[in-house]
Structure 1
C-alpha cells in the first residue's frame, strides 16, 4: 500500500495484535522492497528518529536492550512507533534466535495504541528487504553465486530477498561456524524448491575458500572478529554487511572497506558499525569516503555500481524510519484486507 493512499483507521477499542503468522501472510519480498523504494525518499525527512538507545544488560556477556522510537510529522503517515529489542548472541548455543522484538504502533493524532506486532518478524523482513534494495543498485545484474555467512533466523530471509532482485542467481553457498546449522538451512531451502525456482543450495566448510566464489556475499552474524577478508573477495563482488550494530562488532576486515565503494543504510552506521568505526580510527578510510546512503541511491543523487570490476559494500545497522514504514505497510494492509 503506497504511502500517499488514504490511511484506514482502526475503529476497534482495543489494539490489534499482529503475530508472526499474520505478518508472514502480508509480507512478500518484491512488494515490501518496492514499498520501501517508493516510500523512503518522501518520508525520510518527515520522520523524527532519535538515536537508538543501546543498554548493556550484563558486563560478562554481550546481551543488550535496544529502544528505537520514531514518529511522523506528515498527515499522510499519522503514526508513532517504538521497537523494543533484546539481543542475546549466546542464544545460538541454546538453539534460540539471538534477537527478540516487539513493535508498538500509535496514532500520532490521538496517541491511541493501534497495534502490537511481532517485532522480530518485522525486523527479519525489513532488514532483508533493505539489503536486497541496496543490491538492486550495487550488485551486478548478472550475479550468479550468493555466499551466505551465518545460518540464523535472518539468513533465509536475506537469501530469498536477494533472489527476488537478482533472478540470475543460480547457486547459494551457506557457511556457519556450526556446520550442522548450515546443513539444516540448506535442507530447509531445498525443500522449498518450487518457491525458489532453479537454484542450487549447498554448504561450505572452509569460509576462506568460498568467499571468493560469491558475486554477492551477505553476512548476518554477531561476530566481533572479521569474518570476511577483503583480499579474498572476487573482482566485481558486492558485500552486504548486516550483523554488526555496535563499534565492537565487525564482519569484515579493513581491506574490504578499503577496496570497496561503501554505502550505508543511514548515517548512524558511521558511529555504530564496527567495520566503519574501526577503519576510521585506524585511518584506513575517512567518513567522507563513504559514498552515500540508501536513499541517495534510490533518488539517483548518488551513483551505485559504476563498473563491472569494482567492489561494492553496503553496511546496514537498521533504523526506526524503516521500522515505521514497514509497520505502516503491515497495519494498513491488514485493515484493508479485513474490510474487503
Structure 2
C-alpha cells in the first residue's frame, strides 16, 4: 500500500487535470452515502469542547471517469476544537483508497491536503460553467489555508489579471497578498497584480469573481453590493449556523450548489434563506451533477448580466476523484 503525505498529494495533483476528473465523475456519478457525523463527548474532561468524527465514503463500479474495476474510498476526519491550546491543528484527515474488485488497500493519502485541493478545484469546475469567460478581477475573502488554493485555481480557469485579498485582520491579508504576488505569476506564466484591500464593499463591487472561504456566522457579501455579471463562490460557512452572503444576495443570483443533498441541509447560505422564506428550493437552478451532464443550464454564452452564486459544502465524490488522480499521477 502506498502512503502519500501532504507534499506528495500536492505535487501529484494538477489543478486543470483535477477539474477535468471532477467533471467526468460528476457526469458518471458514484455511490455516495450520507456523511457520518459522530460526536465525541468532551474527551479532555470538564471545560473542554465536544469533538467530532466525520466519515465520508464513496465508491465507483468502474467507468470512463475512473479505473475499469472501480475504487472504494473513505475519508476520516477528526475535529478537536481544543487542540489550539496544545498548539495542534483542530482538524486532522486521512483518506484510504481501496481496490473496488477486492477491497485490498491501495493507498493512504493525507486527507487535509486532499480536501484543500479538491475543494478549490470544485470551485474551479463551477466557475467553468458559471463565471464569465472574460473575468479578470478576483476578490478572495478570507486568509486561511483555502484562500491561496482558490486564488490559484480561479486564475487558472479564467484570465485573471488582478487579485484582491480581504481579511478581518489587515496584516493577514497583506501577508497573503505578498505571498501570492511572489508565487502566482511564475505558476501562471503571466503577470498578475495582487493587493490587499480594507474596503470590503468596494472590493466586492469591483470584482468579476468573489470567492469566500471563511467561518463567518454573519454575511460578508451583501446583495446590494453586487453588480450584473458577477460570479459569487461561497466555500466556507459549512454549517447551518454560518453564512457568507445575505438574503438579498441569494435572491438576486441564479443559485447553484455542489450537491443538493449537502447544500440544502448543511450550508447556511442556503439553509437560512430557505428557512426564512427568502428563497425556495425551486430557486436552486442546478447542482454539479446536473451542470456537468448538461441537464440544467449554466451561464449562457454572451450572458454578461446574470449574477451566479455557487455554494459548496463538499462531497465524498470529490475526495474519491482526487485520490484516484493522485495515485495514478506520474
Structure 1 residues 326 and 99: CA distance shift in structure 2, 3 A = same
Q: Is the 8 A contact 2:13 2:326 kept in 1?
A: yes
**Unaligned ranges ≥5, structure 2:** 43-47
The aligned counterpart of 1:314 is 310
Deviations 1:228-287 (A, max 9, x none): 111111221100000122211111111111110001111221111111111111111111
Q: CA deviation at 1:73?
A: 2.9
RMSD: 2.2
Q: Is the 8 A contact 2:291 2:297 kept in 1?
A: yes
SS at 1:134 equivalent: helix
Name the TM-score, length of structure 1 as normaliser: 0.86
SS at 1:291 equivalent: strand
The aligned counterpart of 1:67 is 55
Q: Is the 8 A contact 1:89 1:222 kept in 2?
A: no
Partners in 2 of 1:90 and 1:287 — Cα distance?
36
Structure 1 residues 152 and 114: CA distance shift in structure 2, 3 A = same
Q: Is the 8 A contact 1:18 1:118 kept in 2?
A: yes
Map 1:120-269 to 2 at 5 A: 120-167=112-159, 169-192=160-183, 193-196=185-188, 197-267=190-260, 268-269=262-263
How many residues in Structure 1 have an aligned counterpart in Structure 2?
Answer: 316
Structure 1 residues 65 and 203: CA distance shift in structure 2, 3 A = farther
Structure 1 residues 137 and 249: CA distance shift in structure 2, 3 A = same
Q: 2:268 aligns with which of 274, 292, 301?
A: 274
Partners in 1 of 2:25 and 2:41 — Cα distance?
38
Partners in 2 of 1:225 and 1:179 — Cα distance?
19
Q: CA deviation at 1:97?
A: 5.9
Q: CA deviation at 1:64?
A: 3.6
Name the TM-score, length of structure 2 as normaliser: 0.89
Q: Is the 8 A contact 2:13 2:322 kept in 1?
A: no
The aligned counterpart of 2:111 is 119
Structure 1 residues 116 and 61: CA distance shift in structure 2, 3 A = same
Map 1:101-116 to 2 at 5 A: 101-116=93-108
Partners in 1 of 2:84 and 2:205 — Cα distance?
27
Deviations 1:67-123 (A, max 9, x none): 111122337252211111234678889987664311011122222221110111111
Structure 1 residues 40 and 153: CA distance shift in structure 2, 3 A = same
Structure 1 residues 94 and 183: CA distance shift in structure 2, 3 A = farther
Q: Is the 8 A contact 2:25 2:317 kept in 1?
A: no
Q: 1:50 aligns with which of 33, 37, 47?
A: 33
Q: Is the 8 A contact 1:265 1:294 kept in 2?
A: yes
Partners in 2 of 1:98 and 1:206 — Cα distance?
31
Q: CA deviation at 1:63?
A: 5.8
- Please say which of residues 22-31 and 271-280 is displaced more in the overlay: 22-31
The aligned counterpart of 2:45 is none
The aligned counterpart of 1:9 is none
